[in-house]
Amino acid sequence: SGNAAPAPLPALAKVAFVDVGSPASTEDLLRAVRSWADRNRPGYAQIVAKVAEASSLFVRGWEQQAQSSAAPTWFDDITAGTNLHVEAMRALGQQAGVEIITPSIQAVIELAARHGIAAKPSGAGGGDLVALVASSQAQIDTFSRVLFD
């Protein structure tokens, strides 16, 4: 289990969410993951370590962007963290036999990347919301127009 702490409000980062329209049962996803984790502790530990690394990268970027003298690498850290998180969630789903990164989620992630936006599923994944983080509102606006046109 991890720690929860207040996060600074975005200073530079722009945040948005995309509803991909197919919510999954978190209970079913967790049941499948727990079952696999019980059978393969080392594999589960590797994925958990990857998620922890992803979280550290994301938090470092988020904390940097909240400072008035933000390092120019803040968005690189956020992007690296979200990409690593997606990779870990995809591996977890494959190992547990459930679809965490659905085709709809993957399509939004790929479209976001083409627009320079970091994207990852929110919550347990499986088809509900994708969280977006961009370095400008213009990126979010352009992405929205492309997504909904």
pLDDT given at position 126: 61
In 3D space, the residue among 93, 103, 91, 97 whose CA is nearest the CA of residue 124 turns out to be: 93
Query: DSSP secondary structure string, 16-45?
Result: EEEE-S----HHHHHHHHHHHHHH-HHHHH
pLDDT digits (tens, 9 = 90+) for 64-98: 888 766 677 899 999 999 999 999 999 999 999 99
pLDDT digits (tens, 9 = 90+) for 105-145: 999 999 999 999 999 998 766 668 999 999 999 999 999 99
pLDDT at 1 over 60: no
pLDDT given at position 127: 64
pLDDT digits (tens, 9 = 90+) for 8-63: 777 888 999 999 887 778 888 899 999 999 999 999 999 999 999 999 999 999 88
